[in-house]
Amino acid sequence: MWSMTRLVNTASCKYASIHWAYSRQEAYNRRQTYTRPAGIRARELMEKYNIVLPRVVESTVCDSPLWLLPLAFFQTDLARFKHCNSQEITHPFQELLSEHNRELVFYTDGSETANGVGSTFYCAGVSHSWSLPAIASVYTAELYAIWQALRYCEHYNVPSFLICSDSLSSIQALQDAYSTDPLAKMILALLRVLSKKGQQSTLMWILGHPGIADNEAADEAARVAAEEPEPDGIPVRPSDVKCHVSACVRREWHRVWSGLTTKLNAVKDSPRKWTTPLSIKRREQVVITRLRIGHTNLTLTGGNQLVCEGCQQPLTVKHLLEDRIVHRRLRRQFEIEGGIKRILRNDECAIKDLLFFLYTAGLFNCIRI
């Protein structure tokens, strides 16, 4: 995963000779016994599965000690109204806003739709919006809007300003002077530049859409930007790339899984790991696993399929749990019905009901090989 994120910015980094040098890759192709670096193997997989990545925000290093540099003032008093309705928070917000009546007020927002991701800041009746790559998160869009608002203040030398954001996670992330997030570090670096120039900055958290016209205008502008057919080529955070690549891998894994014809595939829709309840003993876990994979001492002997004596049908796990006549009453008693997939599903109550059925029917000790 690390190699895939490094592939985006390799043109200007020391890893370019490994990741992008075709002469190196051709050399590895000629010598198949050589183990290719992780970057080349990652690039081959990305090409195979058509994974296209945008640019990634590069991490920067601050040139001054972090504990010596001033930061902005963060106003999160409204967080105590987080679970209140819009009417209850409007008055406290207006009171706080009146304390900053001489400052230029910005409203930032990020939005995600089925077509893309948008980021915007709204100030003095004008919105400034950007369309981000579809793999970007709303959190990235929120941080990017704050960064652009700060750049606006730097460019026009705004003496004091207030940035209002409805993303509490973004405000909290910026309160950490030692943040490792590259976009947060860019914002913190810009805040320090503004502070050194004497520009006073305040970041305030507000509740989303509490009837504030300017905040609603910012939200609408972000939604419009998210619907743009072509993104603006804005770099994304490395964590966005990681989530995107993970999603692509899971989709491909699920596609391969859906095409299999194994016994486990018949009872499990997804390759995701099933968790075992802590209340289930180790021996019981083994029995449940044996039933799911279809290999039990009761249905197979020496690799040969046994036949049910009462039904004269192949004695499979499916027949044992669904159709066996001698256990019909017990199956109804413990609700062992609805198909093999439902009976062996990853649910604690269903597992316990199945174990009670196996104990009562005297089958539990006959299953484990």
Mean pLDDT in residue range 154-182: 90
Residues 6+ away with beta carbon under 8 Å from 117 = 110, 111, 131, 132, 133, 134, 136, 137, 138, 140, 141, 226
Residues 82-119: tens digit of each pLDDT:
767 666 777 777 788 788 778 899 999 999 998 899 99
User: What are the tokens at 2?
Assistant: 């690390």
Measured distance CA(110)–CA(143) in Å, rounded: 8
**Confidence check: pLDDT of 6 > 60:** no
- Per-domain residue ranges of the chain: 2-48, 66-243, 266-367
* pLDDT tens per residue across span 314-362: 888 888 888 888 888 998 898 888 888 899 998 999 999 999 999 999 9
Give per-residue pLDDT as tens, 277-328.
888 899 999 999 999 988 888 887 766 777 888 788 888 888 888 888 888 8
Asked whether residue 12 carries a pLDDT value surpassing 50, the answer given is: no
Quote the DSSP letter at residue 307: B
Residues in the chain: 369
In this structure, of 5-19, 101-115, 253-267, the range with the lowest mean pLDDT score is: 5-19
The CA distance from 111 to 256, in Å, is 33
What integer pLDDT is reported at residue 143 of this predicted model?
95
Please check whether residue 219 is in contact with residue 118, taking contact to mean a CB–CB distance below 8 angstroms: no
Give whole-number Cα distances, 324 to 37, 66, 307, 309, in Å.
55, 71, 11, 10
Instruction: Please compute the mean of the pLDDT values over residues 9-33 and round it to a whole number.
Output: 54
State yes or no: pLDDT of 10 exceeds 50: no
Judged by phi (left if over 0) then psi (alpha if -120 to 50, else beta), residue 211 lies in: left
**C-alpha distances out from residue 229 to 61, 103, 123, Å:** 35, 36, 25
CA angle at 145 for the pair 144 and 146, rounded to the nearest 5°: 90
Q: End-to-end alpha-carbon separation of the chain, Å?
A: 39
Give yes or no for residue 40 having a pLDDT over 70: yes
Q: With 80 as the cut, is the pLDDT of residue 214 above it?
A: yes
- Considering the segment(s) 66-243 as one domain, its CATH architecture is 2-Layer Sandwich (3.30)
Contact 201, 72 (CB under 8 A): yes
Distance of alpha carbon 204 from alpha carbon 92, whole angstroms:
13
**Is pLDDT above 60 for 22?**
no
